Structure formats: structure tokens, C-alpha cells
Structure 1
Amino acid sequence: MIPPHGNTLVDRYLDTERSQQLRSEFDTAPQITLDQNLFYDFVNLASGAYSPLKGFMTQHDFLKVVNDLSLESGEPWPLPIVLDVSTETANNVSPGERAGLRGPDGEPIGFIDIEEVYRYSVDDTCQQVFGTTDSEHPGVQAFREKKPFFIGGEITAFEDVTPSAKHFLKPAEARVLFNHNGWETVVGFQTRNVPHRAHEYLQKSALELTDGILIQPKIGEKKAGDYTNEAILSAYETLVEDYYPENTAVLTIFSSRMWYAGPREAIFDSIVRKNYGCTHFIVGRDHAGVGDYYGDFESQAIFDQFSDLGIEPLQYPYAFFCYQCDGVVSEKVCPHDSTDRVEPSGTELRRTLRAGEQPDPKLMRPEVAEDILSMDDVFVTD
């Protein structure tokens, strides 16, 4: 099976005996409470989804990632995984100290061994990571809301700390499942949307080249107007059950916020799927994009900068339904012009679903649409 990023799958979970021992010491340590996004980062660090990272980034790794898209050790890495804290918290902890970490519900989840406490430039970071300092960009807006200090250091997690969500698998568990299924090649598909027919076309085109597919919605904080996590998962449950042969598709979640970082997020998402055991990763049009901040195929072009990712990107052009071809096809294989096409506009699909109407079955499977329309909360609100 494909090795994880950095060649070792990180596991920062404590065993039961050590967890019990350290829980007894928890209240005597300085305390830091994580919000939901930081909790997801914590779990991804502990489970190895962020291998080779063992904790929140120290300043050297942070600056190297922001400016050079790599860690100090040389491995490619595009997004800063950081623990932000208030000035008050920063003044109350010191390098060399161990701080207790609590989840969003206040429950103890583990520790961080503090190596550094440091400040950062918001504008410089946003310009490098998102290509803009415009606060209308949701990724920039989220970064501007971070607290003024970062704490860097390795983490340890208590043995029972995981998201309370369906379809959660640690990377090690996914690798066991792939082996059990006899899959030597696995393609990863990351999404933040409910599935339409063009998504299905990309997935099945990639599945023709591999033994199995990991369909992994990104389940976490999103901007207003995006689909809710529940709608995405339910729609994919219906699609996989009705339209995929048995033992060809695994549906699991990647617990993480959307960064809306376009090309950098495409590299990040591919590395995470490599850690899960994927050998290939689907990169479609405008991966992790938002508005007009990135070109339609910038997220594909960035892979040309990396010769050592260790996972093969499968780059697909625009897909649509063509009346002349009588099916869902892509620009690469369809010779017909736009008058023969029904294109899967995300904006139009949202408008139709908001109105309680069934989208054209050429764009979305009726069973999937019915499932979505049966839900109370389909879209994220402010």
C-alpha cells in the first residue's frame, strides 16, 4: 500500500492506561479550550490524517509553509495548521510547559507540549495562502478572526477522542478496510457539495482506472449558502447505495473546515487522502475555489510544481450533459457546442433546491434530489 506522507503514519493517541494516568494530572496544567475547527485539527493530527505533522506548527514550519509550501523537513505542505490563542493565554504559558486541551464542549481531550509562542502577520499570511487580503474572501475573513498568538508543539490525545459523526474513519482504519477489500489502487474524491451527475461522471471515470474510490466529504464549518453537512452526507449515502457496485466505494468523512484556498487546498486535500491510503486523487474544475479569486484550472496547474507528492492527481475538464452524445460527458470527448449542453451550474442547482423543486434529472439523480428535498436544513445560514 502507498506509504503516508513522510513515510510514517502518525498516531498521537495514548493507550488506555496512559490516558487514565494523564487525566489525573489534567487539572493541574494550564488549560486551553479549542473551538470546533481546532478540535477537528487536533483529531486529524492525532489520527495521522495530517502526517507527518505531530502537532500544531512552530514558527519555522509556519513561515516555511506560508512562503514555500513545504515543511522545514522538506516535505511539501501548503496550509498552516496552527493553534491560535489570546494575549491572556499567551502570557500565561511558556515554552517547555505542558498545557491541557479541552474540546468545544469543555471536556479534556489531551495535551500540547509547548515549544513556542509566537506572533504572525495576518496580511502577509493571507496574501501568500489565499492570494489576496480581501476580507470578502471567506478564508481571509476566517483568518482575520484568529487570535493574535500561535502556540506550536506536539500533541497527545486521550484514547477515546473522535468526532461524534457517522462515517468517521481514522487513516489507519481506512487502510485496513482497503486491504480487506483487496484494493491496491484507490482514488480519493473530496467534496463540499451534494452530488450532481457531473460529480458522478468524474468519480466513475476515475473508478475505471482504480480498484476502489474513497468518497470523502469535508465535514466542518462552511460559509453561508453552502450545503449543510447533513445534506451532503445523506445525498451521498443515497448515491452510493443506488448507483455504485458493492465493494467499490467507501463513504467516510474528513472533519475539517473549508479553507477556500483554491490551489493550495487542492494540494492539501491530496496529501490527506494519501495518508488515508489513496493512490490517486480527483482534481476537477475550481477545486476549493470561491467567487472569482482563482482561475477554473489553477488547482490543477499547481500540481506541476510538485514532483514528489507521492499521489497521482487525476485532472478532469468540465463535465456536462450533452443531448447529441446522449449522456454526461466532458469537454475532452464531446465535440458539440454549448447549445447541445445542459451544464451543472452550482448556483442554479441551489436556486432550484431552495425553491423545493426537482432539478433536471440530467443534472441530478431524482433519488438524490428527493433525499435532499426531504431534509429540513439543506443550506448553511448566517
Structure 2
Amino acid sequence: MLEPHGGRLVDRVLEGRSASELDDVPSITLTPPQFQEAVSIATGRLSPLEGFLNKNDFLKVVHDMTLEDGTTWPLPVVLDVDGEAASEIVPGERVRLDRPDGTPVGYIDAEEVYKHNKTETVKHVFGTDDDSHPGVRNYLDRDDFLVGGPISLFSEVRHGDYDLFPKETRVLFNHRNWDTVVGFQTRNAPHRAHEYIQKSALEQVDGLLVQPKIGAKKAGDYTDRTIIDAYGALIEHYYPHENVSLSVFPSKMRYAGPREAIFDALVRKNQGCTHFVVGRDHAGVKDFYDGFDAHTIFDEIDDIGIEPLFYNYSFYCTVCDGMVSQKICPHSDDEQIHPSGSKIREMIRSGTHPSEKMMRPEVADVIMDAEQPFVTADEGEEST
């Protein structure tokens, strides 16, 4: 099986430890996204990270997309705190980490407390400092100080029934004799183009891991529950069950375009995938990125040990009478029915059932029957 990124699957879970030993130390109450990142670090999803980034690693990631030791890493994973909290933390000492509800969940061995230049950071990470970009706005809203150092959690924390840790998906892939596995990242309920790409990718490998990103999203995105239930319906009715697995990646969306494509690929590498689908405008938003920036960035970095599978625009062609892509369909735009995610969401909001050429009826039924299929505020969701 493919090695985790950095050569070792990180495990920072200390079963059996008690929070009482940290009663007299400073504490940080994690936000829901920080909590998700702490869990992903501790369970190996973000290998080789063993904690939140120290200053040198942070600067290297922002400017060069590598850690200080040269390992490719595209996005800063940081723990931000305000000035009051920062003043109570002594570098070299242990700080308790609490869940968003205040329950102790682990600790960080604080090695550094440092300030970060948020405007400079967003220019490098997102390619813009325009605060109409949701990822930029979110980062600029962070507190001014960062705490770096390795973390440990008292126990594993699972975000719902579909949350499979890397050590578990690796066992699952071995059990199913999948030597090659393609990972598919999504923040949407599936339409026909998603299905076409996934099945095209599955033709090349032994298994498919569909792994929606669950967590904070922008207003108008599908809710976590809707995405999971919609994929459940698609897999039940249209996929070979022995070749497909549905899991989740608890994480906020950063909308960092090409950098997030690399990040998402590395997470699936740690899950045990050998291949990763990179479609059009991966993790993009509005027109901040070219549709294929997420493809070309893989030529600009060192080999990261997982093979990207690049896909072009996919659509239903009335002449071909099926789902196709630009690469294989010779017909005019007039014959193409594009299953645009924004168009489908508009139809659902208006009570119109999307055509079967755009979305499977079983999937559309799940969405239209949902009490609240869309995120109503930028704060997003903590878990499923």
C-alpha cells in the first residue's frame, strides 16, 4: 500500500489519559474548524504534521508550498488565538485544548507563539487579498497570534458514522484487495457529471473512495447531511457496492483553488489512495481561478506520490445520447446539457425537479425532500 505522506502515518491519540492532569494550565477553546483540524492531525489525515505549524514551517508553506524540511505542503494549518490568550501561553509549556463546547479534548506542547501577516498570507495562499473571496475573508477574520507545536488528543473523535480514519480505510482497502484506489473530493451533492467522472476513474483502478468534505462552507452550498444522503442514494442505485466506499473528510472549505487541490490529494494519499481526481475548477470560487489552474499546479511541484487524474468538462450530449466530455464529443454547444451545480441549486430552490440528464431522480428526491438542503450562513456546520 502507498506510504503516507512523509513516510509515516501520524498517530497523536493517547488513549487512557485524563484531562485532570491539565487542570492548572492555560487552555484554548477550539473553534469547530480548529477542532476538526486537531482531529485530522491526531489521526494521521494530515501526515506528516504532528501539530499546528511553527513559524518557520508556516512561512515556508505560505511562500514555497513546502515544510521547512522540504516536504510538499500547500496550506497553512494553524491555531490562531487573540492577544489575551497569547499572553497567557509560555513557549515550552503545555496548553490544554478544549472542544467548542468547552470539554477538554487534548493538549498542545506550545513551542512558539507568533504573529502572522494576514494580508501577505492570503496573497500567496489564495492569489488575492480581495475580501469578497470567502477563503480570504475567513483568513483575515482570524486572530492575530498563532500557537505552534505538536498536539495530542485523549481519544479518537469521530464526526458521524461515515468518518473513517486513515488506518481504517487502509485496512478496508486491503480487505477488499484494492491495490489501486482513486479518491474523489467533493463539497456538492452529485450530479451526472460527477457520476461520469467517478465511473471513468473507477475504470482505471480497483476501488473508488468518495469522500465529501464536511464542515464550514459558504452560504448556498449543500449541507453536510444532504451531501451524504445524496451520495448514499447514488451509490445504492447506480454503483457496484464492492468497488466503492463512502467516507467523509471533516474540514472546512478554504476555496483555495489549486493549492487546495494538492492539499486534498495529500489527504487521500494518507487515507491510502493511489490516485486522485482533479476536475475543473477544483475548490474554486467565482472567477478567482482559471478552470484548469488546479491541473497545472501539479506540474509546478515535486512528485507527491499520488497520481492525479485530470478531467475536462463533462455534460450530456443529445446526439451521443449519454454523458461525455469535451475530449470525446464532436457535437456543438446546442447539443450539450451541462449539469451546472449552480443551475441545479436554483431549480431545487424554485421547486423544479432537475432533468434526469442533469441529476439522477433518486438523488434529486433526497435533496428536495431535505428540510434544509443548503447552508444558510457562512458559519457552516460543526458535524453531521
**TM-score for the superposition, normalised by structure 1:** 0.98
For structure 1, the 5+ residue unaligned runs are none
Partner residue, 2:331: 336
Q: Give the aligned residue type for 1:299.
A: A
- Please tell me whether residue 255 in structure 1 is matched to residue 250 in structure 2: yes
Q: Give the aligned residue type for 1:81.
A: V
Partner residue, 1:41: 37
- What is the rounded CA distance, in whole Å, between the counterparts of 2:166 and 2:3 in structure 1? 12
- Please tell me whether residue 4 in structure 1 is matched to residue 11 in structure 2: no
Q: Give the aligned residue type for 1:146.
A: R
- Please tell me whether residue 323 in structure 1 is matched to residue 304 in structure 2: no
- What is the rounded CA distance, in whole Å, between the counterparts of 1:161 and 1:251 in structure 2? 18
- What is the rounded CA distance, in whole Å, between the counterparts of 1:310 and 1:361 in structure 2? 38
Q: Give the aligned residue type for 1:314.
A: L
Displacement of 1:272 in angstroms is 0.4
Deviations 1:171-197 (A, max 9, x none): 001100010111000000000000000
- Please tell me whether residue 351 in structure 1 is matched to residue 343 in structure 2: no
Displacement of 1:366 in angstroms is 0.4
Partner residue, 1:211: 206
Q: Is residue 295–residue 310 contact of structure 2 (8 Å, CA) maintained in 1? A: yes
- What is the rounded CA distance, in whole Å, between the counterparts of 2:296 and 2:221 in structure 1? 26
Displacement of 1:357 in angstroms is 1.7
Displacement of 1:73 in angstroms is 1.1
Q: Give the aligned residue type for 2:2.
A: I
Q: 2:124 aligns with which of 118, 128, 141?
A: 128
- What is the rounded CA distance, in whole Å, between the counterparts of 1:116 and 1:88 in structure 2? 15
- What is the rounded CA distance, in whole Å, between the counterparts of 1:209 and 1:307 in structure 2? 24
- Please tell me whether residue 106 in structure 1 is matched to residue 102 in structure 2: yes
For structure 2, the 5+ residue unaligned runs are 378-384
Displacement of 1:82 in angstroms is 0.1
Partner residue, 1:178: 173
- Percent of pairs identical after alignment? 55
- Please tell me whether residue 195 in structure 1 is matched to residue 190 in structure 2: yes
- What is the rounded CA distance, in whole Å, between the counterparts of 1:307 and 1:147 in structure 2? 32
Displacement of 1:355 in angstroms is 1.2
Deviations 1:258-277 (A, max 9, x none): 00000000000000000000
- Please tell me whether residue 74 in structure 1 is matched to residue 70 in structure 2: yes
Partner residue, 1:376: 371
Deviations 1:23-81 (A, max 9, x none): 22121111110010000000000000000000000000000000000001111000000
Q: Give the aligned residue type for 1:220.
A: G
- What is the rounded CA distance, in whole Å, between the counterparts of 1:288 and 1:308 in structure 2? 21
- What is the rounded CA distance, in whole Å, between the counterparts of 1:173 and 1:354 in structure 2? 38
Match runs of 1:303-314 below 5 Å: 303-314=298-309
Partner residue, 2:141: 145
Deviations 1:307-359 (A, max 9, x none): 32000000001000001111000001101110110011122101101112210
Q: Is residue 315–residue 336 contact of structure 2 (8 Å, CA) maintained in 1? A: yes
Match runs of 1:44-55 below 5 Å: 44-55=40-51
Aligned length in residues = 377
Deviations 1:269-304 (A, max 9, x none): 000000000000000000000000000000111011
- Please tell me whether residue 220 in structure 1 is matched to residue 215 in structure 2: yes
Partner residue, 2:266: 271
Displacement of 1:225 in angstroms is 0.7
Q: Give the aligned residue type for 1:5.
A: H
Partner residue, 2:92: 96
Matched position secondary structure for 1:356:
coil
Partner residue, 1:162: 158
Displacement of 1:142 in angstroms is 0.2
Partner residue, 2:380: none
List, as ranges, runs of 4+ consecutive aligned residues in structure 1 with deviation greater than 2 Å. Answer: 160-163
Matched position secondary structure for 2:111:
strand
- What is the rounded CA distance, in whole Å, between the counterparts of 1:203 and 1:138 in structure 2? 27
Q: Give the aligned residue type for 1:56.
A: F
Q: Is residue 39–residue 156 contact of structure 2 (8 Å, CA) maintained in 1? A: no
Deviations 1:175-233 (A, max 9, x none): 00010111000000000000000000000000000000000000000000111111101
- Please tell me whether residue 15 in structure 1 is matched to residue 10 in structure 2: no
Displacement of 1:160 in angstroms is 3.9
